Amino acid sequence: MTIKENFELAKQTYAKWGVDVEEVVEKLKSVPISIHCWQGDDVAGFEVNQNELSGGIDVTGNYPGKATNAEELRSDLEKALSLIPGKHRVNLHAIYAETNGEVVERDQLEPKHFENWIKWAKDNGLGLDYNPTLFSHPKADDGLTLSHPSEEIREFWINHCIGSRKIGEYFGRELGTPALTNIWIPDGYKDIPSDRLTPRKRLKESLDKIFAVETDERYNLDAVESKVFGIGSESYVVGSHEFYLNYAMKNNKLCLLDTGHYHPTETVSNKISSMLLFSEKLALHVSRPVRWDSDHVVIFDDELREIALEIVRNDALDRVIIGLDFFDASINRVAAWTIGTRNMIKALLNAMLVPNEYLKQLQEEGNFTERLALMEEFKTYPFGAVWDYYCEKMGVPVREAWLEEIRSYEAEVLSKR
């Protein structure tokens, strides 16, 4: 049978439950995923005075073909985007500025250092998101930045974050879609601290100074991101979930949840409904922790499906900003982007093909038997036929056919670097 014929049969199957598959496919087209640029070069960036990766972050593997400059990185992103259905966004860190060989300190970065990225985004119909980079720098060598005891060091990072929000605002104004400017810091201690409060007071004061400088919310959205621990901050992280949750709520900022930044028994999917009750918008960095925040490529696993279900069943596709955050140097980096992003979209499609309203009704009626039975049966409904049709309709390879393009790109481009 053809892809179209399989799709028509799937439509009939889902229609029995009131699911309009054509409507689902159209709706999915409008959901953007923010694809992180740093998968393509192992979070190295392109600073003239490039520093070793630090801040509790590690990238393992030495697969050939890593991007060594911004042009190569954009080329790799274009290849990945050509294999991913839909129109999406690209998420940049400050270390991906282009300064034409000039050493520009991070607190001196301006929109002009990202003009090539903006032109490229315009040419490709993409939105851009942004992150100040508060790691891999001499002023972060002791693991503290915005909470540092030194006022001079704090001011450096405060100014970097203020400038970053202005850059994000510029992205939004130029591209006609607001940038999410997200602040994550590595601050913490390897061993048990004797004072947890003082560093958090300094972080709060630093954030207050950063956000005292106004940006236009039509063009820039501010987010803060927590973490439970990192390499070198195993015992204490200043910017904990509780800290940022309270800060975001009190100061009308977005709280960004990274799926790798919690205890192994915590799930971000279980937090989404609570967050949506008290926040107009929520931001995600979807990653895959394996025993710890190891940033593995996103796979179509139970937690990813549950995250997508929570977004869809709560009618929050326009309220949850979905970004990705993983980096694997042990496999082809363009393939990593393709696998992870396609899986995120697959999970959303899968969630949109579930009769969520009927399942909610069963729960309200106390009919837990039918609820469980149907939730299990829908796991093997012909979702794959709809996914194949969606990929074909969007002009990207169906199923594993995209691997052949990756092989060709590796042979013709990546292997020659």
Active site residue 225: yes
Cross-strand pairs, 284: 257, 322
Instruction: Evaluate if residue 289 carries a pLDDT over 80.
Output: yes
> Which of 414, 417, 416 minimizes the C-alpha distance to 405?
414
The three-state (H, E, C) secondary structure of 260-274, written as one string: CCCCCCCCCHHHHHH
> Which of 254, 113, 251 minimizes the C-alpha distance to 178?
254
> Which of 54, 58, 75 minimizes the C-alpha distance to 66?
75
- 3-class SS at 23? helix
Higher pLDDT, 113 or 291: 113
Instruction: Evaluate if residue 69 carries a pLDDT over 90.
Output: yes
282 vs 249: CA distance, rounded Å = 11
Range 49-54, long-range pairs (CB < 8 A, 24+ positions) = 49/103, 51/136, 51/137, 51/138, 52/136, 53/135, 53/136, 54/135, 54/136, 54/137, 54/140, 54/141, 54/186
Instruction: Evaluate if residue 248 carries a pLDDT over 80.
Output: yes
- Mean pLDDT, the chain, rounded, equals 96
Instruction: Evaluate if residue 212 carries a pLDDT over 80.
Output: yes
- Is-contact 394 342, C-beta < 8 A? no
Active site residue 285: yes
Residue position matching structure tokens 């036929």: 385
Tell me the whole-structure pTM to 2 decimals. 0.96
The predicted-structure confidence for 346-355, as pLDDT tens digits, reads as follows 999 999 999 9
Instruction: Evaluate if residue 61 carries a pLDDT over 90.
Output: no
Q: What domains lie within the chain, and their CATH numbers?
A: 1-30+353-417 (no CATH), 32-344 (3.20.20.150)
Catalytic residue among 227, 241, 253, 346: 227
Higher pLDDT, 18 or 231: 18
Instruction: Evaluate if residue 376 carries a pLDDT over 90.
Output: yes
Catalytic residue among 79, 88, 253, 285: 285
Instruction: Evaluate if residue 24 carries a pLDDT over 80.
Output: yes
Active site residue 263: no
Q: What pLDDT is attached to residue 378?
A: 97
> Which of 33, 80, 172 minimizes the C-alpha distance to 402?
80
Q: What pLDDT is attached to residue 371?
A: 97
Pairing of strands 188-189, 220-225: unpaired
Catalytic residue among 117, 120, 184, 337: 184
253 vs 97: CA distance, rounded Å = 25
Instruction: Evaluate if residue 186 carries a pLDDT over 90.
Output: yes
Active site residue 295: yes
Average pLDDT over residues 297-302: 97
Instruction: Evaluate if residue 129 carries a pLDDT over 80.
Output: yes
Instruction: Evaluate if residue 9 carries a pLDDT over 90.
Output: yes
Catalytic residue among 187, 293, 310, 410: 293
Active site residue 184: yes
Q: What pLDDT is attached to residue 118?
A: 98
Active site residue 325: yes
Q: What pLDDT is attached to residue 33?
A: 98
The predicted-structure confidence for 307-335, as pLDDT tens digits, reads as follows 999 999 999 999 999 999 999 999 999 99
Average pLDDT over residues 66-83: 97
Catalytic residue among 76, 107, 187, 258: 258
Q: What pLDDT is attached to residue 36?
A: 98
394 vs 382: CA distance, rounded Å = 19
Average pLDDT over residues 398-407: 97
Cross-strand pairs, 183: 224
pLDDT classification of 52: cutoffs 50, 70, 90: confident
Percent over 90 (pLDDT), the chain: 92
The predicted-structure confidence for 144-156, as pLDDT tens digits, reads as follows 999 999 999 999 9
Catalytic residue among 169, 187, 303, 325: 325
Catalytic residue among 222, 225, 328, 388: 225
Catalytic residue among 295, 310, 328, 410: 295
Instruction: Evaluate if residue 201 carries a pLDDT over 90.
Output: yes
> Which of 308, 303, 255, 262 minimizes the C-alpha distance to 277?
255
The predicted-structure confidence for 134-182, as pLDDT tens digits, reads as follows 999 999 999 999 999 999 999 999 999 999 999 999 999 999 999 999 9
Instruction: Evaluate if residue 55 carries a pLDDT over 80.
Output: no
Active site residue 36: no
146 vs 55: CA distance, rounded Å = 13
